[in-house]
Amino acid sequence: MSKKMLVVALSLLGAAGCSRAPKQQAAQAQTGPPQATPAAAGQAAPQTFLIPAGTDVRVRLDRTLGTKYDRAGHAFQATLDSPIAVDGRVVVPVGTPFDGRVVVAKRSGRLKGRAVMELALVSFQLNGATYPIETGPKTRVSGSHKKRNLALIGGGGGVGAAIGAIAHGGAGALIGGGAGVAAGATAALVTGRKNVTLPAETPLVFSLRDKVEVRG
């Protein structure tokens, strides 16, 4: 093959290649760039579960609470003791930490009145998220100390009268009896306070006042 023919052949091949390139570029412009596959392809979107109002929340206290030391506004922690389920699926598992507040902490009087403690849950933590909640208060009231005070005062007077009768006769009995009543009343004042105490691990049941949306 002569040099002239070789040059002609190479020129024809170059022209054919240049004609194909614009056609390929035009096809790509019409179809657009290839679509990227989403990173989360094949993974289900997170679900949201609705815990209805009125649902029971059963927890155990993480520390001891009492009207002797705690005041309204004090914080406490508790641990879920029974799972919370929605439509048969556990949404909040056992062991979930809850935060609470002391709503009322009232000491009893020495001779009358009862100690009162009210607690409420305010939030819980699940999968790195904090969910605010509102529950009805759980109230604990101390027992009445009326009978106890009567026993202390009456017993003190009886003992005083007996001592006075032995030591001084009738008049002494009256004096001793008065002294005994005073001593009995003092005993009641010293020992008559009653406090509400809830030890650690005490089980408590609260009720949700409003619905709570939880991401699954």
23-51 residue pLDDT tens: 555 555 555 555 555 445 566 677 899 99
**Per-residue pLDDT at 125:** 97
Instruction: Provide the pLDDT for residue 70.
Output: 94
DSSP secondary structure code for residue 135 in this structure: B
* 3-state DSSP percent of the chain in helix, strand and coil, to 5: 35, 30, 35
For the chain, the domains span: 48-144+194-215, 146-176
As a whole number of angstroms, the distance between CA 158 and CA 177 comes to: 7
Q: Give the number of C-alpha atoms closer than 13 A to the C-alpha of residue 181, restricted to the C-beta side.
A: 5
pLDDT, tens only, 69-105: 999 999 999 999 999 999 999 999 999 999 999 999 9
Give how far the C-alpha of residue 20 lies from the chain's centroid of Cα atoms, to the nearest Å: 71
Query: Which tens digits make up the pLDDT trace of 154-189?
Result: 444 443 443 344 344 444 433 333 333 333 333 323
Per-residue pLDDT, 142: 72
Q: Taken in order 160, 166, 167, 171, is the CA torsion positive or negative?
A: positive
**Average model confidence (pLDDT) across the chain:** 72
Choose among 95, 101, 106: nearest CA to 133.
101
**pLDDT confidence band for 64 (50 / 70 / 90):** very high
Give the distance, in angstroms, between the CA of residue 206 and the centroid of all CA atoms in the same chain: 10
What ranges in the chain are assigned the alpha helix state H?
Answer: 3-31, 146-191
Among 82, 76, 84, 78, residue whose Cα is nearest residue 55: 84
Residue 66, SS3 per DSSP: strand
pLDDT at residue 10 greater than cutoff 90: no
pLDDT value of residue 137: 82
CA-CA distance, 121 to 59, in Å (whole number)?
A: 10
Write the class of the CATH domain 48-144+194-215: mainly beta
Rounded to an integer, the average pLDDT of 129-138 is 92
| Confidence grade of residue 54 (pLDDT, cut at 50, 70, 90) | very high
